[in-house]
Amino acid sequence: MHQDVIKVFIGYDPVESVAWHTMAHSILSKSSRPVAFIPVNLQNLKSIYYRERDPKQSNDFSFTRFLVPFLCNFEGYGIFFDCDQMLRTDIAEIFKAVEEQPDKALYVVQHDYQPREGIKYLNTVQYAYPRKNWSSVVLWNCAHPSNRGVTAEFVNTATALDLHRFTWLQDDEIGELNVRWNWLVGEYDEPPADVKNVHWTIGGPYFNEYRNSDFADEWFAERDRMTFCKQRS
């Protein structure tokens, strides 16, 4: 694949399928570079992923998200997003982090917070743990030597905390993205006007009880553009 193509991995869960498609549309409609979308979908990963479902995981891609370097054959860059998000800017801008902090193994928003709610969408328990939501947006440097150990076997067998805390890396190998790249609706107040990526981690506006959350009007407008089809007059 040509190096100019941005490889985008979005976690897919059938309970919120509309979120995946709307997120993908928000990316492709604004990108200045060609993008290749890869759904991180359990149905497509049966030959390499055999891990038993953890009772604490809140979606189907809680652990499969860490397969990105392996799926990229440990080459180039790959970006992972949870599906309950919406991009508001050109995805190519995220690579400014690489220019400013070269040679990192990956780049994340380094959140430091305690969840305000104990329950989120579909009555799922909201667990608190160190580095929570760091893994919900990850710009991977798949070729970095420290990521070579993130094999399919490792993803199948490592503990949940080791994966979500990126414990195979030294702290100075983890680059930082501005919080605007993973703005947590309901967890952070007063969003700046230039939020780049909205993340409804508690529950997206496609769930009835969250229809009036921050940025919901923008999400519905994006969804409508995603489902648009011109008709004959």
Residue 1 lies in a domain: no
Write down the pLDDT at residue 122.
60
How many domains is the chain partitioned into structurally?
A: 1
**H/E run at residue 216:** helix 216-226
What is the CATH number for 89? 3.90.550.10
Residue 232 lies in a domain: no
Express each pLDDT in 76-118 by its tens digit.
Answer: 999 999 999 999 999 999 999 999 999 999 999 999 888 777 6
How big is the chain by its Cα radius of gyration, in Å? 17
For 85, half-sphere exposure in the C-beta direction (CA atoms, 13 angstrom radius) is 27
Residue 231 lies in a domain: no
Write out the residue range of the structural domain in which residue 19 sits: 6-226
Write down the pLDDT at residue 123.
63
Long-range contacts, stretch 111-118, CB < 8 angstroms, 24+ apart: 111/179, 111/182, 111/184, 113/184, 113/187, 113/188, 115/187, 116/186, 116/187, 117/186, 117/202
Express each pLDDT in 185-202 by its tens digit.
Answer: 999 999 999 999 999 999
Write down the pLDDT at residue 138.
98
Run means of pLDDT, 10 residues per run, the chain, 233 residues: 95 97 98 98 97 90 98 98 98 98 98 78 70 96 98 97 97 98 95 97 96 97 98 92
Residue 69 lies in a domain: yes
